[in-house]
Structure 1
Amino acid sequence: MPEYSVIIPVYNRIDEVDDLLQSLSCQTDKDFETVIVEDGSTDPCDATVEKYKDKVDVKYFYKENEGRSIARNYGMERASGRYFIFFDSDCVIPPFYFERLRKALAEKPYDCFGGPDAAHESFSDTQKAINYSMTSFLTTGGIRGGKVQLEKFTPRTFNMGFSR
């Protein structure tokens, strides 16, 4: 059983999945599986996933479209790790992610954890501006639950993990 199960809901994002799997193939700690749940895509990424089967422990599932939350639940039902970690298909993971996560959890075990949403150094100024507008406390990142009613608040679930 792997320590971590990375669960990724996907909807028509072949290029993003390629970048994400490439970053996962470069991890310094390989004790994780990747569960890709294709959520009714009309342009599925199964061929892209197949390219990484010898580099990443990856499982691919296709299901009818029901939205990312249902897709994540579907992935968790098929995952075998001690921890579930959610990434979105457009994430690129630093090569030391699992190495540092293992160290942090050994020092202070948590049942739920998360990390930052940081713009990659290769992003253009436009991409960095979009990232800022989506995550800054001064923009939508600051109002995601601040003044709106709690029942309408939906926490961001990428780069989030929790124990089985």
Structure 2
Amino acid sequence: MKLSIVIPTYNRSELLNYTLSSLVCQSVNDFEVIVVDDGGSDNSKEVCDSFKDKLNIRYFWQKDDGFRAGKARNLGLYAAEGDYIVFIDTGVLLQKNAVEKHIEIHERSQFPIVCIGYVYGFEITNEKVKEIEPHLNGKNTEQLISMMKELKALDIRQTLYDEFGYNISSWPAPFDLFWTCHVSAERSELIKSGAFDESFNSWGGEDVDLGIRLFMNNNKFFIDKELCSVHWPHEKEVDDKAAEANNAAMRIHEKYNLWQTYFYNVPIEDEIFSLNKSIFVNAESI
């Protein structure tokens, strides 16, 4: 088995259906799908069962004991049989050649590599969601990506790529881009790095925390803008996650005390905080 796709979910059966539908359309079929339900009570299992004749899919359920996305992803990671693991969120749709490209990128690399996917529409405003919802069509991911391009609903990290370039392995803290909405790494490297810290039990932090350990274990970080996906637009339950993100950042710095993570404490004027930009802007003055 070349690759395993791990998808945590929680009471998002409609979005899960969109995600799985995009996987049916992949250009290769040497992969498995592992859905881990973090204690949900909807019909997600029935949705997964409906894809059994189209996908190599397994469904796991764990007791609802609060936010345990890290534990859910670990369950999927350890159950996986693929050499490479792709983590995506429920509601993320992969372009039809995404799995093929993940495999190609890992197999051609001379080093263990962490591959950051490009996610259109991630963290767009609720106002923008309402604007584009009437035009959405979940049956054609390519068409949906084209629509996102036209609407300038780009990856929220695009401004960083524009400013600092796509060679993220030269950035001081590429691990800050390790967002499990769409990312891949070698299974053996994820396990060697200790997998997700399951003590993170609120939104944010557990993915970057693992990204740091992959970085410290000499994994090379790589972004391919053509490795496309789209975050299905839906209104967010919580508009402002800044407080939770800040708490996670402070915890990460206390845990590792790296010179890079020190800059989580150094503000920048941008509306959306970026650790790498904080370092680029402030490093020479400290």
Report if TM-score (shorter chain) is over 0.5: yes
Change (3 A) 1:26 1:154: closer
C-alpha distance 154-95 of structure 1, shift in aligned 2 (>3 A): closer
The unaligned stretches of length 5 or more in structure 1 are 139-149
Identity, % of aligned pairs?
A: 27
Q: Which residue of 1 aligns with 2:31?
A: 32
**Contact 1:9–1:72 (Cα < 8 Å) also in 2:** yes
| 1:48-127 → structure 2 map (5 Å cutoff) | 48-65=47-64, 66-109=67-110, 110-119=112-121, 120-122=145-147
2:95 maps to a residue whose letter is P
Do the aligned residues in 2 keep the contact of 1:39 with 1:62 (CA within 8 Å)? yes
Contact between 2:102 and 2:184, CA under 8 Å: does it hold in 1? no
Give the aligned partner of residue 142 of structure 1.
none
Structure 2 match to 1:8: 7
- Pair 1:158 & 2:159 matched: no
**Structure 2 segments unaligned to the other structure (5+ residues):** 122-144, 161-172, 188-286
The 5-angstrom pairing of residues 122-141 of structure 1 reads 122=147, 134-135=156-157, 137=159
Residue 117 of structure 1: SS of its match in structure 2? strand
Shift of 1:135: 4.3
1:100 offset after TM fit, Å?
A: 1.9
- Greater alpha carbon shift after TM alignment, 40-49 vs 86-95: 40-49
Distance 1:122 1:45, change over 3 A: farther
Give the total of aligned pairs. Answer: 147
Mean CA deviation greater in 72-81 or 31-40: 72-81
TM-score (norm. length: structure 1): 0.77
Structure possessing the higher relative contact order (Cα contacts under 8 Å, 6 or more residues apart): 1
Segments of 4+ moved more than 3 angstroms: 134-138
Conserved 8 A contact 1:35-1:58: yes
Q: Structure 1 stretch 82-91 or stretch 100-109: which is displaced more?
A: 100-109
Instruction: Please report how far the alpha carbon of residue 154 of structure 1 lies from its aligned counterpart in structure 2 after TM superposition.
Output: 9.0
Q: Partners in 2 of 1:46 and 1:79 — Cα distance?
A: 18
Q: C-alpha separation between the residues in 2 aligned to 1:103 and 1:61?
A: 28
Q: Is the 8 A contact 2:102 2:115 kept in 1?
A: no
C-alpha distance in 1 between matches for 2:3 and 2:109:
17
Q: Aligned partners of 2:22 and 2:146: how far apart in 1?
A: 14
Q: Which amino acid aligns with 1:162?
A: A
Superposed CA offset, 1:41-97 (max 9, x none): 121401111111011100000101342111101111211111111000010111111
Aligned mates of 1:56, 1:32 — CA distance in 2: 9
Deviation at 1:105, TM superposition (A): 2.5
Distance in structure 2 (CA, Å) of the matches to 1:103 and 1:156: 21
Q: CA deviation at 1:103?
A: 2.4
| Aligned 8 A contact 2:116 2:178 in 1 | no
Identify, as 1 or 2, the structure richer in helix: 2
Give the secondary structure class of the aligned counterpart of 2:34. strand
**Conserved? CA contact 2:86–2:183, under 8 Å:** yes
CA distance in 2, matches of 1:42, 1:121: 34
